[in-house]
Amino acid sequence: MNIGKLDKRIWLLIGILIGGVVVYFALIFPFFLNRDVTAKLELEEQRYNNYLKLIGQKPEKDGTLKRFIRKKEKFNNRLLESDKPPVVAARLQNTLKEMASDEGIDIISEKQKSIVEQDSFIEVPVEITLKCSITKLSNLIYAIEDYKKFLDISKLSIRVVNIRKPIDVRADLTVSGYIFAQDVSKEN
């Protein structure tokens, strides 16, 4: 068989290409494949180490969680008993009446104001008007602030009843109690 110069060159070129492909797949491709596998192994090792850290911190996290739960329960105990806002407002009015009668204060008027919905709470305000001495009023304000549930005096207006004899004052107080908004939505 007589192979010409051109045919020898083509066969040589084909041989070089086949050799190049074999060298690529035998030597170079596994190197790149190994780099990718190494990167994945390093990532998995990092995740594994992070999990070990979390497991090691579990007792500490449990203690933090328990402290948070106790604080939340303590805070929940300071909120008014959840019910529909008008019922809560009526209870708040009765509580304020009891506090005022303990101090010997006459309540002139009382009215429920519209509720204010906040993020996770509902503010239930009640407005009362009283006539008393300034000492009795200050004792009532102290009793409201010292009450076992969280009550907020959002508005306080004081006027003297008789300018010539400034013994008694007339005070308008807006006292607010708070309930969880989610508790009200569950009942509806």
Residue 61 — very low, low, confident or very high, per pLDDT cuts 50/70/90?
low
> How distant, in Å, are the alpha carbons of 17, 23, 34, 38, 60 from that of 31?
20, 12, 5, 10, 44
Q: Where are the domains of the chain?
A: 5-56, 80-187
Residue spans of beta strands (DSSP E) within 41-144: 106-112, 116-117, 121-133
| Beta pairing partners, 153 | 175
CATH class label, 80-187: alpha beta
Dist CA 49 CA 69 (whole Å): 29
At 134-165, the pLDDT tens digits run: 899 999 999 999 998 889 899 999 998 788 88
Angle between helix axes 29-56 and 58-78 (nearest 10 degrees) is 50
Joined tokens for residue 183: 């508790």
pLDDT at 65: 74
pTM recorded for the entire structure: 0.60
Residue 43 pLDDT exceeds 70: yes
